[in-house]
Structure formats: C-alpha cells, structure tokens
Amino acid sequence: MMKFESGYTVETVFDGSKLGIEPHSVEVLPNGDLLILDSSNSNLYKISSSLSLYSRPKLITGSADGYSGYVDGKLREARMNHPKGLTVDDGGNVYIADTDNMSIRKISDTGVTTIAGGKWSRGNGHLDGPSGDAKFSNDFDVVYIGSSCSLLVIDRGNKAIREIQLHFDDCAHQYGSGFPLGIAVLIAAGFFGYMLALLQRRVGSIVASQDEQGILKASTVNQNPYQMQLKSSVRPPLIPTEDEQRETRRKLFRVFRENGCTNWSICC
C-alpha cells in the first residue's frame, strides 16, 4: 500500500546527455560547489551550485576522451578506472573509491595520489594493515567522518566496513584554529575540574574552621560560672587587707621609736 505525500516537484537542473557526461555520484565541496563523478568515463567534474540546464562543468581529473587507467600525478594527467564513489574532507581534498583499480585515490590541489590498495595485480581480497598492503573488493564506497578524522570504506564485496585514519592537517579546517575541538574540551574540563576541586577544598577548610570556633564558643558558654577565673581588678580595693594593716602599724612604730616616742597614745 502506497501513501503519497503531495507538494513536491521534480525538475531537471543538469542534463549530462547533451555533454557526454554520465553522473554516477555527487558530492558538495566546502565552498558550495558540486563534484560530479562520471563512472562510465572515469572522470571527475566540478560545477557551480547554482545548477541550470545551461551549466557547464569543469573537468578536474581524468580524460576528456574517456580513457581509463591507473596513473597518479598531475590532475589532468591522472587516470582512474570506473570509480564508483567519492567523499570530501574539511580541507577540500577528494577521496575516490576507484573500484576497478581496487584502490582509494586522493585528489588535492597538488595532484592525484593513492592512499590505500592499488596493487590490483594481486587481485582483490580482504587484507588490513599498512595502506600499501591493504586489499579491497571491487565493490566499495568511501565516506569521510570529520569527528574521528577518518575515512570509512564500505566494502560491499567483503561485507565489511573498514576505516582509514587520515592526516590531522586534512581534518583541522573544521576547528578553525587547527586545534581539535575534542582535545580543547578535555583540557577545559580538566581545568574547571581542578578549579572546582580547589574551591571545594577551600570551602571545606572554612567550614571546618567555623565548626571548631563554634565548639569552643559552646564549651565556654556551658562552663560553670563558679569555675571561671576572675579577672584581676586594676583599681586597688578601698579596704586594706589585714596583712596590709599590720605592715602599716609596724612601719609607724619604727618611725616613732626612731624619733624617741615610746608612748603610742601620747605621740598620736
């Protein structure tokens, strides 16, 4: 049972039959332009994103005469052999699933290179390891994964998904400054974690100090008032003590005796 949803229209914006181009796959460049992979003629074209029936694509690599082969080097001198898939990294480099050559090609401003496989004389197969020794089937596609800076290979012939780690420089453009966002987040998280630990330690020490002061105050308040020491008064008492009175009489008697007065009542 089909449920049809209306409201859509279909329009032809590029007609390759009039230009001898057979689009097999399309990919968008970071600047918005489109890449058209012509598998039948083993060519790669670039065209403006403002597609129209009058658009004329530009040949990037391959042969205008449709010659296939396996040649690395300058863009217009390189040859592919009926490629079936392509993907683009953040730096604008193009990766081609060159299926009949059982290799993965990289197209940049400097030319075309092979980054994995390519030893087609050994036949296809399933072999991991160094890229020069790796083997693929003759039916696979490639997908760029920016978050892991890698290339996924959907190896249909081997019923497997393979991964190729790319150079960091090919992925750094998505971070602007060239510094990986994941690493920056980890560093920031570590820094804030460290600062939070310092803050918790500081708050803990303040709370502990306040608790100790509260305990001391509580022990002072609960102390028996009769056990508390009396502070010494700065002002001497108004009534002399008995010892002080005795010492005063002794000094007066000495003075009277030295002056020849022996009768206390008469001298006074």
Query: Is residue 82 classed as helix, strand or coil in its secondary structure?
Result: coil
pTM over 0.75: no
* Residue indicated by tokens 């049972």: 1
Count, in order, helices (H) and strands (E) of the chain: 3, 11
Residue pair 112/105 in contact (Cβ under 8 Å)? The answer is: yes
Q: State the DSSP H helix or E strand holding residue 244, giving kind and residue range, or none if neither.
A: helix 242-258
- Closest to 97 in 3D by CA, of 179, 19, 48, 164: 164
- Predicted pLDDT of residue 44: 97
Q: Where are the alpha helices (DSSP H) in 169-241?
A: 181-221
- Closest to 31 in 3D by CA, of 45, 43, 47, 15: 47
d(CA 167, CA 181): 16
d(CA 86, CA 254): 127
CATH label, 16-166, candidates 2.60.40.10, 3.90.1750.10, 2.120.10.30, 1.10.569.10: 2.120.10.30
Query: Is residue 184 classed as helix, strand or coil in its secondary structure?
Result: helix
Per-residue pLDDT of the chain (268 residues; tens, 9 = 90+): 999 999 999 998 888 988 999 999 999 988 889 999 999 999 999 998 887 778 889 999 999 888 999 999 999 999 999 999 999 999 899 999 999 999 999 999 999 999 998 876 677 888 899 988 899 998 999 999 999 999 999 999 999 999 999 998 888 765 554 455 566 677 877 887 788 887 777 777 776 666 666 665 555 555 555 554 544 445 555 566 677 667 766 766 676 566 555 554 445 4
d(CA 143, CA 86): 7
- Closest to 27 in 3D by CA, of 11, 43, 49: 49
d(CA 175, CA 154): 27
